[in-house]
Amino acid sequence: MKKLILTAVLIFVFLCNLYPQSGWQIQTPPASQWYVTVYFINENTGWIANHDDLLKTTNKGVNWIVLSNNFAMDVSDIQFMNELTGYVVGSTAGIRKTTNGGLNWIFASCPECNNSDDFMQIQFLDENTGYAIGDWRIFKSTNAGLNWEPLDISSGVFRGQFFNLLTGWFAGQGRFTKTTNGGVNWVQNIFFTNSFTTDLFFVNLNTGWIVSYSGEIFKTTNGGDNWSLQYKDSTIRFNDIVFTTNNTGWAIAENSISGNNGIVLKTTNAGLNWFSQQVPGTGYFEIFMLNSNEGWLAGDYLLHTTDGGGSVGIKKIISEIPSAFSLEQNYPNPFNPTTKIQFKVSSSKFVKLVVLDILGKEVATLVNESLQPGIYEVSFNAEGLSSGIYFYRLQTNNYKETKRMVLIK
């Protein structure tokens, strides 16, 4: 009997690895405290921290080993350049470097750091140049993290991003700050929200997003000179935002009303629409996406996804198998600003549903994933688009159909 049970368990584990589960799944590292940061250098090798402990996996998070619990600081962020060289930052001006995958750590030299510098973020652009961002200050290293000097920045910053050696953006305390010469000079842009801005992410030199602690998502398309509000929910508090392509991104938050429940929002059309994904747990601090499919969430649990967190904005309304692929007329039509689109999937396929303007330019991606047979419905919100004629196209490797719809505002 025991052999039969063991065999069943092994088969179950094999099938779970062969056919990964959809959505966000809990992983169980040995140190089961609140995880504050996660970083993977490839699909197998990664590190997580829970303030005191740093843990490492070499098999996608199935197993973990504790590397160190003697940092003399609370760890806030991790970055590895390769499987050997990496950095951690944290409280009391803590900056540490490893050259053997995390087994041993070097204390960085930072004469002008003090115990009030609680670093929240580390970012290296190449093997020599890196930035440590903390409670209102930024420090820079040009010798692979061995020595650090402060940058002259008068505005308080919390988190940020350097896109290259010259251009970087930082947010915090309701402000936005930009440099175009590696941090020598800063353009102070007093932000237009009273809320604390918690994170930002740019996909190129022009296009980026900022999230705030009062449930706001802002977008810029001119490098931060102007911002537009894309999303607002005053009941949640955003902690992190990341994009893997120009269209696909995630923002994570806590629910400030109902017990800090964890919230993950995903967009596949550059922030025009944001849809919720189901996650267990009470809150998450950081999201790390290796690509548009595989990623991890650090917080109440460590969560892992192999399909981008599952479907968003799409629901299967009938499970029966249709006789053929087909695309229905949207309803209502004309519409303002939302409409629904139904389509039929007759066999397991990778399906793409996009919206095109009258010139044929793709303005929204509504579906871009593998689907099982059934009848599906997806909502489309054209809030940011102008009135006019649009087309929506359903496509697989051997099927394509396009229909026309009209937006009237």
Structure tokens at 158: 């919390």
Is 352 found in the same domain as 273?
no
Residues 319 and 301 in one domain: no
- Considering the domain architecture, whether residues 230 and 247 belong to the same structural domain is answered as yes
My answer on whether 119 and 245 are in the same domain is: yes
CATH code of the domain covering residue 399: 2.60.40.1930
Locus of tokens 């303005």: 363
Distance CA 129, CA 136 (A): 20
Q: In terms of Cα–Cα distance, which of 268, 186, 197 is closest to 227?
A: 197
Question: According to the model, what pLDDT value does residue 157 have?
Answer: 75
- Which residue has better confidence, 334 or 187? 334
Q: Of 262, 281, 305, which residue sits at a domain end?
A: 305
| Residue 193, in any domain of the structure | yes
Regarding whether 391 and 280 lie in a shared domain, the answer is no
- In this predicted model, what pLDDT tens digit does every residue of 115-169 receive, in sequence order? 767 888 999 999 999 999 876 788 999 999 999 998 877 666 778 999 999 999 9
**Residue 168: its pLDDT value, please?**
94
pLDDT at 22: 64
Question: Which among 404, 332, 393, 342 has a CA at the least distance from the CA of 368?
Answer: 393
pLDDT at 9: 36
Residue 15 lies in a domain: no
- For residues 102 and 125, membership in a common domain is answered with yes
Distances (CA, A) of 155 to 121, 177, 199, 226, 341: 17, 7, 15, 18, 47
Domain boundary, last residue among 286, 305, 324: 305
Of 224, 213, 214, 312, nearest to 269 by C-alpha is: 312
* Domain final residue pick, 264, 282, 305: 305
Residue 257 predicted with pLDDT over 50: yes
Asked whether residue 4 is domain-assigned, the answer is: no
Binning pLDDT at 50, 70 and 90, where does residue 260 land? low
Residue 154's pLDDT is: 62
Is residue 11, in this structure, part of any structural domain at all? no
One domain, residues 283 and 401 = no
- For residue 198, the tally of other CB atoms under 10 A from its CB is 22
Does residue 6 sit within a domain?
Answer: no
Same domain? 300 vs 321: no
Distance CA 351, CA 282 (A): 33
Would residue 10 count as lying in a domain?
Answer: no
> Same structural domain for residues 347 and 273?
no
Q: Which long-range CB contacts under 8 A does 60-65 form with residues at least 24 apart? A: 60/304, 61/27, 61/29, 61/296, 61/302, 61/304, 62/27, 64/29, 64/30, 64/31
Please indicate, yes or no, if residue 355 is contained in any of the structural domains. yes
Domain count, the chain: 2
* Domain limits for position 122: 23-305
Say if residue 66 is in the same domain as residue 171.
yes
341-380 per-position pLDDT tens digit: 999 999 999 899 989 999 998 888 788 778 889 999 998 8
CATH for 151: 2.130.10.10
Burial class (CB in 10 A: 0-12, 13-18, 19+), 16: exposed
Question: What tokens were used for 38?
Answer: 């996660």
Decide if 3 is inside a domain: no
342 shares a domain with 301: no
Residue 263's pLDDT band (cuts 50, 70, 90): confident
Indicate the pairing of strand 197-202 with strand 208-212.
Answer: antiparallel
Q: Are residues 146 and 198 in the same domain?
A: yes
- On whether the CB atoms of residues 306 and 294 are closer than 8 A, the answer is yes
Q: Are 87 and 105 in contact (CB under 8 A)?
A: no
pLDDT in tens, 300-332: 889 999 989 877 778 888 888 999 999 999 999
